[in-house]
Amino acid sequence: MNWLNRLFRPDQPQQQTSEHDLHRAAAALLLEVARTDGTVAPEESQRLIQAVEKHWHLDPQEMDDILTELENRVDQATDLFEFTRPLRDHWGPEPRVTLIEEMWAMAAADGHADAHEEHLIRRVSDLLYVSHGDYIRAKLKATEFN
């Protein structure tokens, strides 16, 4: 069974969710931000790699796996709840805010965070129970250098 099914299938018997699986889910959400505007710019790809190496320590082969599985999964998903629920259930407030900050950095990596990216980040923030104040602070911190 692939890692996405292990993480996101509520109908399966309760399995241990590893921190590594959660890191892969966070990377998948970052990738979704990059894909939201229709193209993944080289700056966004570079930002994704930097975030993954800094926070979640995933190697390039795992990123290839994530890309392959996520392409199919995102196209079939009806909402973001299935992607955010495991992170909300297993992470405390700080890692969730860090993810929102990284999502903002991803959106701004190509020089402009468009309305679709902002909407996606707002939805994920709500689903992760990140406060509006933390959401705004994450946005300001991530976009102050762009």
Higher pLDDT residue, 11 or 58? Answer: 58
Query: What does the alpha-carbon distance between residue 136 and residue 142 come to, in Å, rounded to a whole number?
Result: 10
Q: Render pLDDT for 54-92 as a digit per residue (tens, 0 to 9).
A: 887 777 777 777 777 766 665 665 567 777 989 999 999
Q: Render pLDDT for 108-118 as a digit per residue (tens, 0 to 9).
A: 888 888 899 99
Is the model's pLDDT at 4 over the cut of 60? no
Q: Contact, 135 vs 100, CB < 8 A?
A: yes
Look at domain 19-143 and name its CATH class: mainly alpha
What is the domain partition of the chain in residue ranges? 19-143
What pLDDT is stored for residue 1 in this prediction? 38
Query: Tokens standing for 32?
Result: 């979704």
Query: What does the alpha-carbon distance between residue 107 and residue 88 come to, in Å, rounded to a whole number?
Result: 21
Is the model's pLDDT at 97 over the cut of 70? yes
